Amino acid sequence: MNKTPDLETHYDLRGCCLDFTSFKMNDRVDIVLGYICDQCREALIQKIGKEYYSDIASILSREWIGEVDKFGTVAYNLKNYFKFDINKDSGFNKTLWEKLRDRFDEILSQSIVALFTAIIGLILGYFVGKS
């Protein structure tokens, strides 16, 4: 978060953002929880100040994201401009259908690029062969 105050991570898992984790899944859980344990909160306040800690707590609270149905909020913009509804996305608990759909989109776009590359290659090969 901030290297300047020399904050320490802790090896015991507490669901805290400053947990030392070996597995990416644990990092994701810590970030999603947005929790800072009492020990880390005190260390943050002592080393970088209460105002900075308040800013961190505000970001982690996710109140700034707003409501999906309220025009102008981050959540509203994500849903209406990027088709990403934060209330409905399953995150890392996707169903088999969602995983297949995501993979299909990836395969489809790669196939289209490969097809166009092949067509352009054939056209170039035809014209180079004629000259």
Predicted TM-score (pTM) above 0.85: no
Tell me the per-residue pLDDT of 56-111, one tens digit each, with 9 for 90 and over: 888 888 888 888 889 999 888 888 888 877 766 556 667 788 777 777 777 888 88
Q: What sign for the dihedral angle of Cα 108, 112, 114, 115?
A: positive
Tell me the per-residue pLDDT of 38-57, one tens digit each, with 9 for 90 and over: 888 888 888 888 998 898 88
Task: Give the integer Cα–Cα distance in Å for 28 and 79.
Answer: 22
Q: What's the pLDDT band for 33 if we cut at 50, 70, 90?
A: confident
Query: Which position has the higher pLDDT, 21 or 116?
Result: 116
Q: What is the pLDDT of residue 16?
A: 82
Task: Give the integer Cα–Cα distance in Å for 81 and 83.
Answer: 6
